[in-house]
Chains A and B, each alone.
Chain A
Amino acid sequence: MANDDIWILGINMTKFGKHPTLDSVDLAAEATLAALEDGGVTMKDMGVIAAGNLMGAAAGIGQQLQKQVGQTGIPVYNVANACATGATAIRTVIMAIKSGETDMGLAVGVEKLSGAGMLGAGFGAGKSDEWTRTGRYGAVTGLEGKLGTDMMPGVFAQVGMEYGHKYGGTSFELFARISEKNHKNSTLNPLAAIQKDMTVEQIMNEPMIAYPNTRAMCSANSDGAAAAVIVSGERLRTLSLEQQKRAVKISASVLTTDPWEEACQILPNVNTLTRNAATQAYEQAGVGPEDLDLVELHDCFATAELVHYDNLMLCPEGGAVDFFESGAPFRDGATPVNVSGGLESKGHPIAATGIANIWEIAHHLRGEAGDRQIEGAKVGLAHVIGLGSACGVHILEKSGL
């Protein structure tokens, strides 16, 4: 292992779902203590913390966590980057290590979202006595429902429909079948919020949220946390052989935002920044999409999964429908996608998601994924996207030892 390589030494995710008796700090502490134990280190070994809790971004979750698990005086970076918050925390620790300021750090993300309902737009102020212009569009009333939607289900529904308009081949049923795949995968993941095998008919007959996404095709709002201990190659070489064997190499870590293109301020363009992040990640890691043994991508809605097959270049441009129909993204396919069950069933505690998907990949690379193990997995990719927008892509590789 080269001195300037970056590795995951320990990593953990809590069970996702409802945790009515635990607060955000409890969940973050649970994941943190387990990640430290997994890596065989303690808070005293950490040189930096990057922590995310999107819904409580002003509260300083990093310091709240320290007060429960170890106040060692190290710098804390509280980060917020929409659904890419967890990936941003990971990347922040990596940058601190790469800069030479420290050789080991902790990234943690936590969210309490059970029962939160639909995320996205507010409905604006109530009607005043006289029409008064506010905001950047000079609107006299809230725009939600009057001029399109900012609610996540409707935004990502349009993203999938736009892909269908451009390339053809999509249908309500196709998107439901993508969801069926992920729900089936979740039955093998005991940490998933929802473990329920559902037929296409059941999925299509669920309450419609925003056509073509029914409730089962939307990510599950849930509580949960995930944490990772990240270490430099130089420091890892000083640790035990067992620690070195279980360490997972971070071959690429990329964060992008959306470059300006026509229409990107009308409907968020989740495609270009994902494609840019993937391109940079493959180049950094020196691997191609064909080398990936598994992928965890950001299926916040079934419609999103389809477009990211293409954006991550798992298929030729415009070929996402054919890719799905070929069986490639299924558990036994050429490029298994979301074997964890994906956000639609594993759950989506926002700031935890970008670390939990890395945990899933690492679990397989270590050969510790139990019933859902992808046999012989050596390389995997984890992707998240947060609207606004921010995209994180990490490529992970099994230790060669």
Chain B
Amino acid sequence: MSPVRIALNATLLLLIFVIQETLISPARLPLSGFSLYLAVLLSLVLLENRTGAVILGFVGGLILDLSPSSNAPFGQWALILTGVAYVIAVNAESIDEIVSRPVGLGLFVASGASLALILFLILGSLLGESAGSFGRATIVISGNFFWTMLITPFFMPLLLTIREVTIGARERI
């Protein structure tokens, strides 16, 4: 993954982060809404090899750590998303052409997002943060799973187009 593409992906993620914080979070959607940011980030991770996925996960996590509404220590999302990105990249290698299967893609990204949220909760508990009742956490995670599965196939073509435009000749080989 070239430094230019890391910068481009980071810019795209920053834009999604602003959309998430300003438009989606205040919308108060049913089932506690969803994280468009996580969905886009994990979809981008799917398109990369292991090295690219790990870098993207780390950069994406750092951007999410910037969220002023977060109570978590800085670096918690970076730690989790680096690990989850690696897991996704390793597992995606065993599924051929997952990006061209809308249901499989939605399920894969939604599972990754849920895994990230569960790890965030577990690590948060270890660091002494309180995240509310078990029921509330279940609603947030399952709501996020549902919404992510629903929306991922819709923005994936756009991400593929952006990737085609930005990818260098050396990386294409």
Are A and B bound to each other?
A: no
Q: A residues touching B (Cβ–Cβ < 8 Å)?
A: none
Q: B residues touching A (Cβ–Cβ < 8 Å)?
A: none
